[in-house]
Structure 1
Amino acid sequence: MKKTTFSLTLLLILCVTSIWAQGPNNSGTYYQAANGKKGEALKTALFNIIKNPDVVSYNGLIDAYHKTDTRTDGKIRDWYSNATNYTWNDRNGNASEGAGWNREHSVPQSWFSEASPMKSDIVHVLPTDCYVNNRRSSYPFGEVGNATYTSNNGYSKLGSCKTSGYSGTVFEPNDEIKGDIARIYFYMVTCYEDRFTNWTKGSAT
């Protein structure tokens, strides 16, 4: 191996090792309490690590979206529609899809009685089209069998659930964000492990 190649390889190994060891805020110990845990014990260990999230105010979410949900063209990202081109001032229009955007609680805030800090936790409060958001209402997410509503370009839909075990109405987001939604829900039941069991409508029944 040439000396130059060896040096670059060694540098890469040292950088990766350094990043791995640091953890958030260069702590090196952030997830230490979760080491070796599995199943419920792992989830509870993670809860104890993240249970006091630093959330912004509900109004502060709008400014925060400039960092988290700005598209490459400078417009705001829409989680429920791919037919919108919102500027930051196009808020709250509800006449039709594309008329305006608002803040959507992916875990409906009626489930937890609009309590804080869940109400303004940006991990699950997302910018979405007002009209499509209203069609979603507080229905749980699920796979739709017979659709009663479909957003433009078939991006998201509402209808009867086709998954065995539940026959009610569900809202199905687009395939490209289903993984994100699943991770959001895992975060919510982990971060708020001591609260979510008391949420009045926190399950599809």
Structure 2
Amino acid sequence: MKHFYTLLLAFITSFSFAQLAPPTELESYYSTVDFTTTGVYLKNDLIDVTADKHVNYLSYGDVWDASRITDLDPNNSNNVLLLYGYNDTDGSITTDRTRGKYDNGGGVGDWNREHVYPKSLGNPNLGTSGPGSDAQMLRPSDVQRNGQRGSLKFANKNSGEFPNGESGTTNSGWYPGDEWKGDCARIIMYMYLRYGERCLPTNVGFGSSASTPDDMIDLFLQWNAEDPVVDGGLEDVRNAYHGNASNEFAQGNRNPFIDNPYLATVIWGGPDAQNRWEDLSINDEQQNRIKMFPNPVNGNEVSIISNQDIIAEVYDILGKKVTVQNMTSNQTKLNISELTKGVYIVKLSSENGTQTKRLIKQ
């Protein structure tokens, strides 16, 4: 039945998906991938390029050094960002979002390079070499917070639960937090490409694979769509570093679902994820003229710099539009005073196209 579904999916969706072509700077990396295909055919091409470009194999110890380069806090280069963390000011160490980059180890108040999903959920156990030392999968996390997560599978939160985007236990599983759920989904997708049946999504999260041509589950497709990649954010920084094999602690391969989350939609279906390769008629210079800062933000305004008039639409993490503001060219302030703390999606539209950015209000 899965094989039949794959053929049907490839036939039907080839007419409905957006045309894909990587930007100029990624054309060489993806030169062997046929982006006119869909379903498992596209997946197989991405499997090949992801494995072929993985030319440097890091030890578990090397990941300490890699993390101090790839996971820096953009607001303070002395710190790393902590997966599952969400608050640096509530008096609890375990909820910290940032930590000194040399405060690593295995004790209270330390950060460790943690497997995004427990290595025990691999089949067999991922260990601390090979897939267990893949730096695309290992992220800094507070030792105690990750201990609270334990060996739980990923799960969705209930309606109204964790209103400020917190991580925590829910539904017999672990919710990674609004800021991190997309990161986690895209890492799981990468691990599935790179290591196949050893890293099945059905083994690491609660969800159904009935609508996909293989073992991807709807939970991760949902998270990938709801929590897009931030332009130039942490995921991009990590991906760019590891995609350059000449960097000292780089693997040489990229996570294609960070480069374009929409690839997951083309392969597995589900809700339309962010397409970072659309609007190909807009040159990079024009695209890059739309800037939004600071992000994360502690106040009630965000600066938008653009050479065009734009419409800024802000959506909450469930996809509900919470505010709309028309903005003229040059620097303008987006008023977010009515937004509570949490993660939002900002859609910036102009006559030349649309950009989607993630906004974190602390």
Does the Cα contact within 8 Å between 1:44 and 1:193 map onto a contact in 2?
no
Match of 2:144 in 1: 131
Give the letter for the 1:156 counterpart: S
Matches within 5 A, 1:111-122: 111-112=121-122, 113-115=125-127, 116-122=129-135
- Taking the aligned partners of 2:99 and 2:180, their CA distance within structure 1 comes to 19
Q: How many angstroms does 1:42 deviate by?
A: 0.7
SS at match of 2:66: helix
Deviation at 1:23, TM superposition (A): 3.3
**SS where residue 103 of structure 1 aligns?**
strand
Say if 1:156 and 1:172, in contact at 8 Å, map to a contact too. yes
1:38 is aligned to 2:50: no
Question: Corresponding residue for 1:164?
Answer: none
Secondary structure at the aligned position of 2:46 is classed as helix
Higher relative contact order (CA 8 A, sep 6+): 1
Flag structure 1 segments of 5+ consecutive residues without an equivalent. 1-18, 161-168
Query: Following TM superposition, by how much is the alpha carbon of 1:48 offset from its aligned partner in structure 2, in angstroms?
Result: 1.2
Q: Does 1:184 align with 2:187?
A: yes
The letter of the residue matching 2:168 is K
Q: In structure 1, the residue corresponding to 2:196 is in which secondary structure? A: coil
1:77 maps onto 2:89 in alignment = no
Q: Following the alignment from structure 1 to structure 2, what is the Cα–Cα distance between the partners of residues 156 and 29? A: 35
The size of the alignment, in residue pairs, is 169
Task: Map residues 51-90 of structure 1 onto 2, 5 A cutoff.
Answer: 51-52=51-52, 53=54, 54-71=56-73, 72-73=75-76, 74-82=78-86, 83=88, 84=96, 85-90=98-103
Deviation at 1:184, TM superposition (A): 0.9
Q: 1:42-72, CA deviations, whole angstroms, 9 ceiling, x for partnerless residues?
A: 1111101112523311111111012211112
Higher strand share: 2
TM-score by length of 1: 0.69
Asked whether the equivalents of residues 34 and 46 of structure 1 are also in contact (C-alpha less than 8 Å), the reply is no
Q: Quick one: structure 1 residues 145 and 135, their matched pair in 2 at CA, closer, same or farther if it must change by over 3 Å?
A: same
| Deviation of the 1:100 alpha carbon | 1.7
Match of 1:174 among 164, 177, 181: 177
RMSD of aligned residue pairs (Cα, Å): 3.1
SS of aligned partner of 1:76: strand
* Cα distance change on mapping 1:114 and 1:186 into 2, 3 Å: closer
Unpaired stretches in structure 2, ≥5 consecutive residues: 1-21, 89-95, 208-362
Greater C-alpha radius of gyration:
1
**Counterpart Cα distance in 2 of 1:67 and 1:89:** 11
Amino acid at match of 1:158: T
* Aligned residues of 1:106 and 1:124 also touching (Cα < 8 A): yes
Query: Identity of counterpart residues, as a percentage?
Result: 28
Equivalent of 1:196 in 199, 204, 208: 199
Contact 2:155 2:170 in 1 (8 A): no
